[in-house]
A and B are shown apart, each in its own frame.
Chain A
Amino acid sequence: MDFLNGLVVLANFVLIPATSYGAQLALGALGVTLIYGILRFSNFAHGDTMAFGTTITILLTWSFQSMGISFGPLPTALLALPFGILATGLLLVGTDRAVYRFYRRKKAAPVILVIVSVGVMFIMNGIVRFIIGVGDQNFADGERFIISARDFKEMTGLAEGFALRTTQVLTIVVAVIVVAVLFWFLNKTRTGKSMRAFSDNEDLALLSGINPERVVMVTWFIVAGLATVAGVLYGLDKSFKPFTYFQLLLPIFASAVVGGLGNPLGAIAGGFVVAFSEVTVTYAWKKVLTYWLPDSLAPDGLVQLMSTDYKFAVSFAILIIVLLFKPTGLFKGQSV
């Protein structure tokens, strides 16, 4: 019984939250890594792209709600999601035409494109705040819990509760579907193959008749999809506020770099590595250990490695350690 109780506590406070957070980071990191692999620069505007996609989705969700359209027990935001992706895709392609294409044609060094993307970031930052404001926005609806802590206790008779929110399960399911579709697209379709060819060797790809403008456009649309899905899932699961999306940039980049920039598989692994380290390093293990260890060994203190204030420091630390010892990341990506 003690073992089960400990396991429930662990799942409730560590495993489930870290897995859904990891899935959100992985989707974000996939977008960053695709841009790095194919367009060859680190896109600092990614966090704000997520915020923009979420903003459009939120506005549509509200109008759907006011029209009385709902998605049963699932959040209405899922219905609005495709439109959000479309709008974000148009914005990104528009930005590419207006800004990035100019530098690409000049064969500008990647570092210049990075700085350009910082400029784009500030502009998107402003657009998002201009549209929806700086405050918290709540747009989750539908069933909140699949199983609530109280119900779980009554059902199982355990001393500890276990809550599973709809949005947590939704995050994981949607992330799995999106990743599966993305990999199928990259590996099996003609366009996907031409994108990988473009990423591996630009000149060779051009020689074999691949249209670079088309590859770039498809890339932006996929990135828009990934960013909007990641942003909406994060907003549903936690809450939407433009500034927190800007802050997400750090763990997302940490995930992409840890996994190996330009490597989609690495981005996913990186997302989970960062999420699990953030949660486990700042978790106070007292309760779990009290259940699992014999009484004589039960801890008096909190057994917390680091205060939760230092959550972001964990992403920084992982980033630095990986860059020092394995610049290409855990999976073989390009070195930064």
Chain B
Amino acid sequence: MKKLLLASAATALLAGAASAEEIKIGIILGFTGPLESITPAMGAGAELAIAEVNAAGTLLGGATVTGIRGDDGCIDAGLATATAERLITGDGVNAIVGGDCSGVTGAMLQNVAMPNGIVMISPSATSPGLSHNNNEDNGLFFRTAPSDARQGVVITDILNDRGIKSVALTYTNNDYGKGLADAFQAAFEASGGTVTISAAHEDGKADYSAEVAALASAGGEILVVAGYVDQGGKGVIQASLDSGAFDTFYLPDGMYGDSLLAAIGDDLNGSFGALPGTDSDGATVYQGLASAAGFDGTSAFSAESYDAAALIMLAMQAAGSSASADFAAHVMDVANAPGEPILPGELAKAIEILAAGGDIDYIGATAVELIGPGESAGNYREYDVNGGAFVTAKYR
């Protein structure tokens, strides 16, 4: 017994000596709920960045980083708040990667992160409502995903380039759909286009013929479907094609998925859309790292999650401190020029440069460029549906 005690005491001492500090990062995503199919790859992305930094072992002179997963349920603000509360006050996390959906992200920020002064970087919340232009977030909130206000402008540009002046618009009846629809309508009308009707549709219905009837009556050259690929969006497109109401559709980010091609078939040819994406080298590098780690790096928002975790740790190094109050101000510095460009897999190099007092420009897996109140400027991949496949047209 005495020996055992001695041994454990010695181990504790050794462990204490080996790591100067133990940093904890909360990874709060909707591991249950409507996005549960993509959150595993998002969590794995964040953990990949953490593993990379740990392997280097040089962060803040030898600190180890632990990722702690928590569930926000995507649409359950109560659960999200409780989880964030537990991770911050119980586990004592230094920063949070999350949340994934806009509603719960706002709830966690207001109720827990801001009162406790903890930095949050969301990889996937895109609601324009989360743009804190007047510092309502005390400078604590960032996102590696672009705001849907930006997507509204991108859609407008694409439609104008193709000479489309009048569209019908339908959106899924939630924060995402409404936010995107409003952003797009404002941008499109400002550019001289006409939105003949902006009508909501509910997800999970068997029949969308009534919704389509109203859209068809209003008319328009094409139909913009701001919905979900496995939900009402697909139903609206199917019903439109069946009744001959619309032949061509614009597909925003929520409508990108191979399941749509499989469900609709050749009738979808000629439709087009755009989703966040970049042709930078970072994306390819990241996909290689992800497959080596055993998960799918092309899964939606997985790369953004890696970037969110990486930004947190690099900002800590730049500030020379793991306290949110200290490093919050450095997130923008490490994300943007000037400095040495940093791709995925080069976090050790970045830490070295920062430790030596240099400057970095984190490119990461998604060509991160933080603008305005700390959100991604947003790179979009425009594509056409041609011959039953998504064909990349160009990057915006």
Interface of A toward B, CB cutoff 8 Å: 9, 12-14, 17, 21, 136, 138, 148-150, 152-153, 161-163, 165, 234-235, 237-241, 243-244, 278-279, 282-288, 302, 304, 307-309, 311
| Extra A-B contacts (14), CB below 8 Å, given A285-B217, A302-B217, A309-B173 | A12-B244, A13-B209, A13-B212, A153-B244, A161-B243, A165-B242, A238-B206, A239-B207, A279-B210, A282-B210, A284-B214, A302-B197, A307-B200, A309-B202
Q: Is the CB of A286 within 8 A of B201?
A: no
Q: Is the CB of A148 within 8 A of B206?
A: no
Q: Is the CB of B217 within 8 A of A149?
A: no
Decide if B235 is an interface residue (CB 8 Å cutoff). yes
CB A281 to nearest CB in B, in angstroms, measures: 10
In the complex, which residues of chain B have a beta carbon less than 8 angstroms from the beta carbon of A241?
204, 206
Sample (13) of A-B pairs whose CB atoms are under 8 Å apart: A9-B216, A12-B243, A13-B212, A13-B217, A148-B244, A153-B244, A161-B243, A241-B206, A282-B210, A283-B213, A284-B218, A287-B216, A308-B211
In the complex, which residues of chain B have a beta carbon less than 8 angstroms from the beta carbon of A234?
206
CB B127 to nearest CB in A, in angstroms, measures: 21
Distance of A163 Cα from B209 Cα, bound (Å): 12
Number of B positions contacting A (CB below 8 A): 27
Decide if B205 is an interface residue (CB 8 Å cutoff). yes
Q: Is the CB of A309 within 8 A of B200?
A: yes
Q: Who on chain A is nearest to B211 by CB?
A: A308
Q: Is the CB of A308 within 8 A of B199?
A: yes
Instruction: Knowing A286-B218, A304-B214, A308-B211, say if A150 contacts B204 (CB, 8 Å).
Output: no
Q: Is the CB of A244 within 8 A of B209?
A: no
Q: Is the CB of A21 within 8 A of B244?
A: no
Most buried by A among B207, B210, B263: B210
Most buried by B among A12, A13, A234, A309: A13
Q: Is the CB of B204 within 8 A of A239?
A: no
Distance of A309 Cα from B177 Cα, bound (Å): 15
Distance of A225 Cα from B214 Cα, bound (Å): 35
Distance of A292 Cα from B197 Cα, bound (Å): 21
In the complex, which residues of chain A have a beta carbon less than 8 angstroms from the beta carbon of B243?
12-13, 149, 161, 163
In the complex, which residues of chain B have a beta carbon less than 8 angstroms from the beta carbon of A243?
204
Most buried by B among A138, A163, A234, A278: A163
In the complex, which residues of chain B have a beta carbon less than 8 angstroms from the beta carbon of A152?
244
Residues facing A in B311-349 (CB within 8 A) are: none
Decide if B219 is an interface residue (CB 8 Å cutoff). yes
Distance of A308 Cα from B243 Cα, bound (Å): 17
Distance of A287 Cα from B214 Cα, bound (Å): 9
Q: Is the CB of A244 within 8 A of B214?
A: no
Distance of A309 Cα from B211 Cα, bound (Å): 8
Instruction: Knowing A13-B213, A238-B206, A244-B205, say if A287 contacts B244 (CB, 8 Å).
Output: no
Distance of A285 Cα from B216 Cα, bound (Å): 10
CB A215 to nearest CB in B, in angstroms, measures: 34
Q: Is the CB of A286 within 8 A of B217?
A: yes
Most buried by B among A17, A138, A148: A17
Distance of A282 Cα from B219 Cα, bound (Å): 16
Residues facing A in B157-202 (CB within 8 A) are: 173, 197, 199-202
In the complex, which residues of chain A have a beta carbon less than 8 angstroms from the beta carbon of B207?
21, 237-239
Distance of A209 Cα from B253 Cα, bound (Å): 69
Most buried by A among B230, B244, B263: B244
In the complex, which residues of chain B have a beta carbon less than 8 angstroms from the beta carbon of A165?
242
Q: Is the CB of B217 within 8 A of A163?
A: no
Instruction: Knowing A283-B210, A284-B197, A309-B173, say if A302 contacts B218 (CB, 8 Å).
Output: yes
CB A153 to nearest CB in B, in angstroms, measures: 8
Residues facing A in B65-121 (CB within 8 A) are: none
Q: Is the CB of A17 within 8 A of B217?
A: no
CB A313 to nearest CB in B, in angstroms, measures: 13
The 3 A-B pairs at the shortest CB distance, nearest first, are namely A149-B244, A161-B244, A284-B217
Q: Is the CB of A307 within 8 A of B199?
A: yes
In the complex, which residues of chain A have a beta carbon less than 8 angstroms from the beta carbon of B245?
13
Distance of A278 Cα from B209 Cα, bound (Å): 11
CB A95 to nearest CB in B, in angstroms, measures: 25
In the complex, which residues of chain B have a beta carbon less than 8 angstroms from the beta carbon of A235?
206
Contact of B217 among A240, A278, A283 (CB under 8 A): A283
Distance of A149 Cα from B207 Cα, bound (Å): 19
In the complex, which residues of chain A have a beta carbon less than 8 angstroms from the beta carbon of B230?
136
